[in-house]
Amino acid sequence: MSLPEILIPALFLASFAGMTYIVLKALGAGAEAYASEYMTDASRQFEDMFLFIPPHRISQIAWGSSAVCFTLFFLVTGNLTTIAGIMRGTLFGVITAVTALFTPSWLLKLLKSQRLNRFNEQLVDSLVSMSNALKAGFSITQAFDSIVKESLNPISQEFSVMLQQIRLGVRFEDALVNLETRVGSDDLTLMIRSIEIARITGGNLTEVFERLAETIRERMRIEGRIRSLTAQGRLQGLVVGFMPILLGVAMFFVYPDVMRKFFSEPIALVIIGLVAILELIGALLIRKIIRIDI
């Protein structure tokens, strides 16, 4: 191997390392701010979901996996001997790095959403049980305590925290507000407002809970009906979103020489960028069409 064949890749690598260093230094303040905000938000959400995981561990995993994904995809898809190869490797590396960086926060939101759905499903039966407990002569706090003893997580955890706050001297109304803030459920908000109004006006909580349970159950039935009717639209969105990616991967295996030649041209990056923009627009339009608020 001649000296120019060794120097050219080395110079490209040194130039890329220098640009990477400059970019990282420029983004350092932003990265620190994002990490601080992420750890604060993650810590609060972990506490709300009773997950005792150090947030800084999640942040370290996110940044570490992002760096690994960037390096791996840059080396696999890039080519240090050409400008187009460097741009191609950088493009795929940045896409995978950003995806890896935000994946933990997406998973955290998914876990919180699933926990909220379980809470709402349990709330309907809990309202009926609390109504029966009130008919039997229990107080409102005793009715909450019966739910803690008889129900599963997460509703038993949330009601247990509320009762512990009351035992420590927190006012009943303030404990309800803390519960509402911690859970973030619209159905729970309806229940709490019903309790507050009934305590002020002297209404019959047993009837209120029964009607509220019927209302929430009917709303959940309608939501399930809407999900079944819009399932085809969601499936079409997934097909439209992933089909270009799957076809591109298949073309790499079927016609590797053609695809390598295609990605060696700078125009390929422009085409990929336009396809990504159109895919995003299509996904947003499909989401807007199938999204129905009740």
What would the pLDDT profile of 69-86 be if each residue is shown by its tens digit?
888 877 777 776 676 667
Per-residue model confidence (pLDDT) at position 163 = 92
Per-residue model confidence (pLDDT) at position 175 = 92
Residue 253 lies in a domain: yes
Residue 31 lies in a domain: no
Q: How far is CA 209 from CA 156, 194, 294, in A?
A: 18, 8, 21
φ, ψ at 264 (rounded to 5°):
-80, -10
CA dihedral angle for residue 237, residue 72, residue 17, residue 90, rounded to 10 degrees: -30
Q: How confident is the model at residue 2 (pLDDT cuts 50, 70, 90)?
A: low
Residue 107 lies in a domain: no
- The verdict on 156 and 209 lying in the same domain is yes
Mean pLDDT of the region 208-221: 88
Residue 20 lies in a domain: no
Residue 240 lies in a domain: yes
Mean pLDDT of the region 46-53: 57
User: Of 176, 199, 228, which marks where a domain is finished?
Assistant: 228
Mean pLDDT of the region 194-203: 82
Mean pLDDT of all residues belonging to the chain: 78
Residue 164 lies in a domain: yes
Identify the residue whose tokens are 């709330």: 123
- Indicate the pTM of the whole model: 0.64
HEC profile of 220-288: HHHHHHHHHHCHHHHHHHHHHHHHHHHHHHHHHHHCHHHHHHHHCCHHHHHHHHHHHHHHHHHHHHHHH
| CATH code, domain carrying 134 | 1.20.81
Complete DSSP assignment for 26-44: HTHHHHHHHHHHHHHHHHH
- The verdict on 197 and 276 lying in the same domain is no
- The verdict on 198 and 220 lying in the same domain is yes
DSSP state of 79: -
Residue 89 lies in a domain: no
pLDDT in tens, 253-283: 778 788 777 777 778 778 888 888 888 888 7
Residue 277 lies in a domain: yes
Q: How confident is the model at residue 174 (pLDDT cuts 50, 70, 90)?
A: very high
Which of 164, 189, 47 lies closest to 112, judged by CA? Answer: 47
Residue 183 belongs to domain spanning: 117-228
User: Of 176, 202, 228, which marks where a domain is finished?
Assistant: 228
- Show the CA angle centred on residue 167, arms to residues 51 and 171, nearest 5°: 100
Tell me the C-alpha distance between 64 and 52, whole Å: 21
Per-residue model confidence (pLDDT) at position 37 = 60
User: Of 188, 205, 228, which marks where a domain is finished?
Assistant: 228
Tell me the C-alpha distance between 54 and 60, whole Å: 10
pLDDT in tens, 118-160: 898 899 999 999 999 988 888 888 999 999 888 888 889 889 9
Give the best-scoring range by mean pLDDT among 161-165, 216-220, 245-249.
Answer: 161-165
Number of domains in the chain: 2
Tell me the C-alpha distance between 242 and 275, whole Å: 12
